[in-house]
């Protein structure tokens, strides 16, 4: 089975750092480093779903709920911001700027 170049590079990095295998206590930190972010197609899917709903202002909760439905994971603030930016660029009505003030300092892309 052939792996994508990106996945191959991740596996190479893991094998170089852990030539004898990953110790059990390192699983959680490694997974935290490798957490996913929305693909461009997923951003478009979430945005498309939001703009097809009845007209209203869109807030971060609306975006977060749809991200969860698309990915089956809790949304990252950076992903919510990407969807919001995509909606704003298209001129869609967004909730007040104060509703977007939630920042998670542990959320890095």
Are residue 45 and residue 83 in the same domain, yes or no? Answer: yes
Three-state DSSP state, 75: coil
Structural domains in the chain (count): 2
Are residue 10 and residue 50 in the same domain, yes or no? Answer: no
Residue 94, beta-bridge partner list: 58
Mean pLDDT over each residue of the chain, to the nearest integer? 79
Q: What is the pLDDT of residue 2?
A: 63
Q: Which of 59, 84, 64, 83 is nearest to 74 (CA)?
A: 64
Are residue 49 and residue 29 in the same domain, yes or no? Answer: no
In this predicted model, what pLDDT tens digit does every residue of 55-101 receive, in sequence order? 678 888 899 999 998 888 888 888 899 999 999 888 888 887 655 55
Are residue 94 and residue 61 in the same domain, yes or no? Answer: yes
Are residue 3 and residue 44 in the same domain, yes or no? Answer: no
Give one word for 21, left, alpha or beta, with left for phi > 0 and alpha for psi -120 to 50: left
The 8-class DSSP code of residue 94 comes to B
d(CA 36, CA 51): 24
Are residue 93 and residue 50 in the same domain, yes or no? Answer: yes
CB burial string 33-67: b at 16+ within 10 A, e below: eeeeebeeebbebbbeebeeeeeeebebebbbebb
Q: What is the pLDDT of residue 101?
A: 55
pLDDT for residue 105 is more than 50: no
**Per-residue pLDDT band at 108 (split at 50, 70, 90):** very low
Are residue 17 and residue 65 in the same domain, yes or no? Answer: no
- Mean pLDDT over residues 26-31, rounded? 76
Are residue 53 and residue 2 in the same domain, yes or no? Answer: no
The CATH number linked to 77 is 1.10.10.2390
Are residue 95 and residue 51 in the same domain, yes or no? Answer: yes
Q: What is the pLDDT of residue 98?
A: 59
Q: What is the pTM of this model?
A: 0.58
Domain that holds residue 50: 40-100
């Amino acid at each position: 089975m052939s792996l994508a170049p990106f996945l191959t590079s991740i596996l190479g990095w893991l094998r170089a750092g852990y030539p004898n295998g990953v110790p059990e206590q390192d699983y959680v930190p490694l997974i935290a480093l490798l957490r996913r972010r929305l693909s461009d197609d997923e951003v478009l899917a979430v945005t498309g779903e939001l703009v097809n709903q009845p007209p209203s202002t869109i807030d971060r909760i609306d975006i977060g709920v749809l991200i969860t439905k698309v990915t089956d994971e809790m949304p990252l603030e950076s992903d919510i911001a990407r969807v919001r930016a995509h909606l704003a660029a298209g001129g869609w009505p967004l909730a007040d700027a104060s509703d977007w003030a939630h920042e998670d300092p542990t959320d890095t892309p």
